Structure 1
Amino acid sequence: MSAPQPGTWNADPAHFARPTRRDLIRVGWLGGLGLSLGGFLKMEAAARAAEPANKVEAKAKSVIHIYLQGGFAHMDSFDPKPDAPAEYRGILDTVATKLPGVRFSEHMAKTAAVADKLTVVRSMTHTEVDHSRGEHSMFTGYRPSPALTYPSMGSVTAQQLGVRNDMPPYIVVPTAGSQYLNSGYLSNQYGPFALGTDPGRPGFAVRDLALPRGVDDARFAARKEWKELVDDHFAKTEKDDQLAAMDSFYQRAYGMLNSPTVRDAFSLKNETEETKKLYGMAGLTGPLAFRNGGAARFLIARRLVEAGARFVTVTFGSWDTHAFHYNGIQTQMPVLDVALAGLVTDLDQRGLLDSTLIVVNSEFGRTPKVNAGGGRDHWPRVFSVVLAGGGIKRGQVYGSSDALAAEPTKNALGVEDYAHTLYHLLGIDAKKDLMSPGNRPQQIVMNGKVVKGLLA
């Protein structure tokens, strides 16, 4: 029988630990008071979950997570291999960065100019070649389990840190780009708030952030009072997560509707033309001027964390290029380049970069060798992620891949250590237990550690 894979539910010995003789004696004594063995174990699990976690000092007040959906090509962006054979290195030239001896793809020239503010990890690795399994690994810190869907980092952050300034703690822009960006086994109330539409579209407005036509403040207050009477009745007669979640959603919605600051955070109307140019939303000519709508997602993410959101996930692009790879990325990567560099620069100029953690990732990379259809396929064995701000060291490349961008050769970074480090920067102890269905305690992340080499 093979050993359990690290990071899965089956790998935690606590799930299979037998009660000790002392436990059974205690249960035998407590049985006289009507407490069963199952009740005793449930009580013990709840007590462990309630134990205070190790206090961690937060470096990051907020996270902006840029998800590059589909599998982002590391060798054509942050880890080019100009000396590799042509079928591996591809057709792109490289550009110098602000870091001596470090080069990026020609499509990432703007980001190369702010590389002194970044940590580029060239040694991210896991073993999942399927999109959904790779997403689960990268977004939760756990390899997939048939027994349980784990919560995303955004949902754990919402559950652990809560609401700030009436802003939803976890927001996805424009929608959740993966089913594993949701709350998993946690209550639905810790799921993401979705904008529902792309902020780059003309006339952009977030649904449900304004009162309906014909409903003034007085009428809205009256409706709220009637709803509270109904809610009070159901709360006294029903105990259900869906009811609790809905109550949480309504309370959050009331706070948002009553706050001009919150409503303003979801609008780009007050941004200057100069700022829009920084993100690539204005001032461009040629093909880029017609493909830059997605850049608005980066700008609104900055507005959301500035207003108090704790975790914002921006899904950008479609990078699953099994064929015609270079045609696919040339229409997207230059937009990403300008918007990402603009976000880093804007946060730094506003004094927000040191307290805002930027995370750029994908579910995996792409194959080192170009296939017969001119594409690159799925490749989780090594790929790149980019980190900046929020306690991350500025101006370094962490880890390395081999000459073909096929395997990690130095400081391989697994999903458990990666997740532990991000939680550490948020002031969350990743070894803390959360409660899953059946009152089973689950560590936020199991078997990982904080990677000191990534920290400032």
Structure 2
Amino acid sequence: MKCLGNGLSRRNFMTVGAFGGLCLSDVLRMRSVLGDQKNYDFIPAKAESIIHIFLPGGLAQQESFDPKPFSPLEYRGEMGSIKTNTGEIISQTLPQLAKCADKFTIIRSMSHGEAAHERGTHNMFTGYKPSPALIYPSFGSVVSHEYGPRNNLPPYICIPNQPNEFAGSGYLSSSYGPFSLGADPAKAGFKVQDLNLAGGVDAERFARRQDALSTVNQYFSSRHNADSVTAMDSFYERAYSLISSEKARDAFDIEKEDAAMRDRYGRNQAGQRLLLSRRLVEAGARLVTMTYGGWDMHTNITNGIRNSMPALDQGLAVLLNDLDSRGLLDTTLVMVSTEFGRTPKINSDAGRDHWPKVFSLMLAGGGIKRGYVHGASDPTAAEPDLDPVSPEDLATTIYHLLGIVADKELMSPGDRPIEIVDGGKVIKQLLA
């Protein structure tokens, strides 16, 4: 058995009595490094949590972060462009973000080869190309696997629900899957499903049920080595922690947020989902995936953008400023992603079709450089012109910021070792 410097074995190190001066987060990070397959260099984490804002359908780069004001009208579209407070150009649809561009980075050279929604989404949630042989775990499930819960909150939360099948645990145990709210925080009377005790069940009765269930679980676990049994036991344990912790439950209660702050974010889907995301990471959630809108605009893209973008622009700008004012932006990585971009040329229905060759995303906080634009597309936003970024590169960089070694091997069914990411590189230009 390998020893750690002073002769303490890895197994003994992980016992409670051996924590010494290390906090739990240090121990969890060491656990992610001291895998069973091989030795890994220690990566100090800069990001303690992530807010992943996913825009399903394929956000047009031209109408968001990469306008082409000097290209012909049939390429640039009807939307104009504006200057940010850093002197860069973004779409006129993002006036609030333009005022705080010194807080985020834009990648204008994302690229992959998958033009179907499902396959593109798989790329962007896992860092892997789709495979018929294996389902890969999402960012949230890997983070859940490596670090576990914090402050009695689920490590991986989806607002309002798991957005797609690739946002799950893949080949990992389903116990690392997301906790979904099951409701939209923008709706009146918003309540998270299964968060409170059932009617007529007090704390004492709840404790008796917990003890009884623990006995049943031990019986089944001793006789069945099945993921479903282990996962269910883990889900119940986390549910008990959540239900029994008033502080954890309060994080989900958006009604406890100051009314003026709710107004600042916007009393709409984008604003309230973003606000709840902030509440959850502030309380201890490790990764929150928030989904908003439908960006698959094959027809009338100008009206589609005008309808959907203002709420996102407002809420996202407030989120960045809010996190920064609370001292959370440096330790919270904010990522705005989509599965691919849109075609360079407007189609006959005044829309844009699927285009994975080049598209844009936004990153902020958590060790990311501020006020920076990485890469470039060509004059019509058709292909990368400078520093192309693959999903593998993006995933490797995200894990690096989290203190997770991207080529660490996890065990898939059949005890087959699989690297968390295969072949990506850290994009050092993005790092602060």
With the length of structure 2 as denominator, give the TM-score of the two structures: 0.91
Q: What is the distance in 2 between the residues matched to 1:411 and 1:150?
A: 26
Partner of 2:161: 175
1:256 counterpart residue number:
242
Q: Which residue matches 2:229? A: 243
- Partner letter of residue 324 of structure 1? N
Matched, 1:76 2:76: no
Whichever residue aligns with residue 77 of structure 1, its letter is S
Computing the radius of gyration from Cα coordinates, the structure with the larger value is 1
Partners of 2:175 and 2:232 within 8 A in 1: yes
In the alignment, structure 1 residue 86 sits paired with structure 2 residue 62? no
Contact 1:116 1:394 in 2 (8 A): yes
Q: For residue 277 of structure 1, what is the aligned residue in structure 2?
A: 263
Tell me which amino acid in the other structure corresponds to 1:115: A
Q: Which residue of 1 aligns with 2:365?
A: 389
SS of the aligned residue for 1:65 comes to: strand
2:50 aligns with 63
Alignment of 1:41-60 (within 5 A): 49-60=36-47
Select 2:83's aligned residue among 92, 96, 103: 96
Further displaced range: 223-232 or 378-387: 223-232
Contact 1:138–1:363, Cα closer than 8 Å, also in 2: yes
Question: What is the match of residue 221 of structure 1?
Answer: 207
CA contact (8 A) 2:195 2:249 kept: yes
- Indicate if the aligned counterparts of 1:49 and 1:435 stay in contact, CA closer than 8 A: no
Aligned-CA RMSD value: 1.2
In 1, the alpha carbon distance for the partners of 2:414 and 2:226 equals 14
* Residue from 297, 303, 306 that aligns with 2:279: 303
What letter is aligned with 2:326? Answer: R
Aligned amino acid, residue 394 of structure 1: R
The alignment's TM-score, normalised by the length of structure 1, stands at 0.86
Q: Which SS does the other structure have where 2:112 is aligned?
A: coil
Cα distance, 1:417 vs. partner? 1.0
1:323 paired with 2:299, answer yes
* Corresponding residue for residue 230 of structure 1: 216
Deviation digits for residues 164-209 of structure 1 (CA, Å, limit 9, x no counterpart): 1111000010011111000010000000000011010000010111
CA deviation vs aligned residue, 1:321-380 (integer Å, no higher than 9, x gap)? 111212222111111100110110100010000000000000000111110011100011
Please state how far the C-alpha of 1:230 moved relative to its aligned partner: 1.3
Which residue is 1:129 aligned to? 115
Contact 2:269 2:292 in 1 (8 A): no
1:152 to 133, 138, 147: 138
Match of 1:431 in 2: 407
Deviations 1:390-438 (A, max 9, x none): 0000001111111101111111111111110000000000010001111
Shift of 1:49: 4.0
Q: 8 Å contact 1:367–1:378 — kept in the other structure?
A: yes
The whole-number CA distance in structure 2 between the counterparts of 1:74 and 1:413 is: 15
SS in 1 for 2:336: strand
1:52 shift after superposition: 4.0
Are the equivalent residues in 2 in contact too, given 1:152–1:180 (CA < 8 A)? Answer: yes
Secondary structure (helix, strand or coil) at the match of 1:294 reads helix
* Deviates most, 52-61 or 116-125: 52-61
Instruction: Check the 8 A contact 1:298/1:343 in 2, yes or no.
Output: yes
Distance in 1, Cα, partners of 2:40 & 2:191: 40
What is the alpha-carbon distance in structure 1 between the residues aligned to residue 80 and residue 111 of structure 2?
25
Gaps of 5+ in 1: 1-46, 282-291
Question: Partners in 2 of 1:238 and 1:147 — Cα distance?
Answer: 25
For 2:49 and 2:395, how far apart are their aligned partners in 1?
Answer: 15
* Contact map agreement 2:54 2:292 (CA 8 A) in 1: yes
1:455 paired with 2:431, answer: yes
Q: Which runs of 5+ in 2 are unaligned?
A: 1-33
Deviations 1:77-118 (A, max 9, x none): 111011110111111121110112x11111100011110001
State the Cα distance separating 1:293 from its structure 2 match: 3.0
CA pair 253-52 structure 1, distance change in 2 beyond 3 A: farther
Aligned length: 399
Residue 48 of structure 1 and its aligned partner are, at CA, apart by 7.6
| Residue in structure 2 matching 1:398, options 353, 370, 374 | 374
Residue pair 2:136, 2:170 contacting (<8 A) in 1 also: yes
In 2: Cα distance, 1:348 partner to 1:275 partner: 15
Q: How big is each residue's C-alpha offset from its partner over 1:127-174, in whole Å with a ceiling of 9 and x where there is no partner?
A: 100001101111111111111111001100100111111110000100
Deviation for aligned residue 1:225: 1.7
Which residue in 2 is equivalent to 1:357?
A: 333
